Structure formats: C-alpha cells, structure tokens
Amino acid sequence: MLLDSGATGNFIDKDFVCTKGISTRSISHPIPVFNVDGSPNEAGQISEVVGVILCYKTHSERMLLAVSNLRKQNMILGYTWLKDHNLEVNWQTREVQMNRCPPRCEGCRAI
C-alpha cells in the first residue's frame, strides 16, 4: 500500500482485484485519469469501484476504491484520506498512530 499526498483519490490495482476475486461495481460516469504532467493516463478512465473494509491494527473502515492499473502498488490512499485521518507518524520509530480518525472509522477510539 502506498500513502500518496499527491493522489486525488483512493485506488486499487486492477490485477490485484482480479487475482483476489474481488467483485467490482461499474460507475455510471467514467472518471478520466491524468498524470502529474497533465497528460491522459495510459490506463484510461476509471469505470469500476470496489467496496472494501480497510484494517490496520485497531483501525477499520468501509470505503470505496477506484479500480485502475497501478503497476507496482496494490493500493493507493490519497490526500483526502490522509487529511481525514490526520495520521500521527513517528519517523524515527516508524510507528503510525491512527488516533484522530473521522467518526466513520470503527475500532479507532481509545476506551
């Protein structure tokens, strides 16, 4: 999984979806995909999404991921997800705390 503050959405790799047998759902209006330089992405438009439950330690949430060709990554979580979750990262110990999650996340609240 890649956390990418430059990505404008949340994505999952098409080959990963096929390999794992994850069911997709077509969207009514395909979404064009552009590279950093503004050129159209060779993978073409996004026309499918998948519903998943994302789990990390005590964190869990339901979310939709756009299906695209990601090549080297199985999943990319973009800027909006990062902003909503406002992760606490200790770069020296490589620890990630998810203690500022939005209300839609389950299992993230300290008791």
Which pLDDT band, with edges at 50, 70 and 90, does 108 fall under?
low
Is 9 part of any domain? yes
> Which helix H or strand E contains 17, and what residues bound it?
helix 14-20
Q: How far apart are CA 60 and CA 63, in angstroms?
A: 10
Is 108 part of any domain? no
What total of structural domains would you count in the chain? 1
Is 110 part of any domain? no
Residue 56, pLDDT score: 87
**CATH code, 76:** 2.40.70.10
Structure-block tokens of residue 21: 């047998």
Query: pLDDT, tens digit, for every residue of 16-62?
Result: 999 999 999 999 999 998 877 888 888 889 999 999 999 888 888 99
Query: pLDDT, tens digit, for every residue of 14-27?
Result: 999 999 999 999 99
In three-state secondary structure terms, 80 is helix
Is 102 part of any domain? no
Tell me the average pLDDT of the chain. Answer: 89
Is 107 part of any domain? no
Q: pTM of the entire structure?
A: 0.84
Is 106 part of any domain? no
Supply the range of the domain harboring residue 83: 2-97
